[in-house]
Amino acid sequence: MSLKEKSIDKGIPVPLYYQLKLHLHEHIKSCRIGDAIPTETELCDHFEVSRPTVRQAITELVTEGYLTRSKGKGTFVTKPKVSRDFLLAMQSFNQEMIDTGRRPSTRVLALSTTAADDAIADKLQIAAGDPVFFLRRLRSADGKPIMVVNSFLTAARVPGFDSHDFGRVGLHSLLINTYNLELVRARRSFEAVAVPVTEAPLLDIKPGRPGQYVESLYFTQDNTPIEFSIAWYRGDYSRFTFELRASDMQHASSTNGQ
């Protein structure tokens, strides 16, 4: 059914903007990247709703990455933001991009051995000054940079780590297949930040633009931390999904008194 054949039901307790948003989202699925959607005036006239209603529906789709506005030209279909599920799986970046129909690529920015400072040593449960491998990468999808990630690994557990080409080899697949280190869980923290000056040029954005800062700590089958990473994501090209299970919500309720 085309957009012109759809209508809004004002007799049901579903917000008008949300009904319109669902219609537009369905319409977008049949469009190509770069196609224009009907103007605000056309949508107002067809669905018999106010301009604020139309704007709210479009604004949410722009925020979610399905549409992009061009001043003086209109609103156009764009490729949705890269969505990363941070609870359900520890899937590799490359596989996640492939599964969503994108072409992943990685550029190695640095690979060296260094001495762990107090903070890194605390994360990896080693002594300050112990050797760690430092790997810095720029991860992209369809040629567009998405994140810069710095990884620190305990050198004693991955001998010869710096001899591998991480532009071609995935870090976690290497840990599993070469070093027989099964990754069983990860602990992550997430923070909305202004992208720092050091990372912004790599992400092809201006310093201070909105981004996401994520710290991850990966554990092996013996419950020992093997990798600590810090990453900066482009805010305009990434979105994160978190899923709460009933047991998690019950635990939160009992601990928070809510």
pLDDT, tens digit (0-9, with 9 covering 90-100), for 166-217: 998 989 889 989 999 988 888 888 888 899 999 999 999 898 888 889 899 9
Q: What is the pLDDT of residues 119-149, one digit of tens each?
A: 999 999 999 999 999 999 999 988 889 889 9
Dihedral sign (CA 164, 145, 239, 25): negative
Looking at the structure, tell me whether residues 67 and 88 fall in a common domain: no
* Domain C-terminal end among 77, 111, 142: 77
Q: Would you say residue 49 lies in a domain?
A: yes
Q: Would you say residue 121 lies in a domain?
A: yes
Name the residue with higher pLDDT: 75 or 2. 75
Looking at the structure, tell me whether residues 164 and 101 fall in a common domain: yes
User: Residue range 54-72: average pLDDT?
Assistant: 86
Mean pLDDT check: name the lowest of 35-44, 47-56, 57-66: 57-66
Q: Would you say residue 178 lies in a domain?
A: yes
Q: Would you say residue 182 lies in a domain?
A: yes
Looking at the structure, tell me whether residues 123 and 222 fall in a common domain: yes
Q: CA of 113: how far to CAs of 45, 103, 124, 181, in Å? A: 64, 30, 15, 20
Domain range for 71 is 3-77
Name the residue with higher pLDDT: 60 or 129. 129
Give the amino acid at 105. Answer: S
User: Domain holding 26: CATH number?
Assistant: 1.10.10.10
What is the chain written as a DSSP string? Answer: --GGG----TTSSS-HHHHHHHHHHHHHHTSPTTPBPPPHHHHHHHHT--HHHHHHHHHHHHHTTSEEEETTTEEEE-PPPEEEESSS----HHHHHHHTT--EEEEEEEEEEEE--HHHHHHHTS-TT-EEEEEEEEEEETTEEEEEEEEEEEGGGSTTGGGS-TTTS-HHHHHHHTS---EEEEEEEEEEEEPPTTTTTTTTS-TT-EEEEEEEEEEETTS-EEEEEEEEEETTTEEEE----HHHHHHHHHHHT-
* Domain C-terminal end among 56, 77, 98: 77
Instruction: pLDDT band for 87, please (50, 70, 90 cuts).
Output: very low
pLDDT at 252 over 50: no
Residue 15's pLDDT is 87
Looking at the structure, tell me whether residues 119 and 181 fall in a common domain: yes
Looking at the structure, tell me whether residues 95 and 200 fall in a common domain: yes
Q: Would you say residue 55 lies in a domain?
A: yes
Looking at the structure, tell me whether residues 124 and 64 fall in a common domain: no
Looking at the structure, tell me whether residues 136 and 199 fall in a common domain: yes
Q: Would you say residue 21 lies in a domain?
A: yes
Domain count, the chain: 2
pLDDT at 62 over 90: no
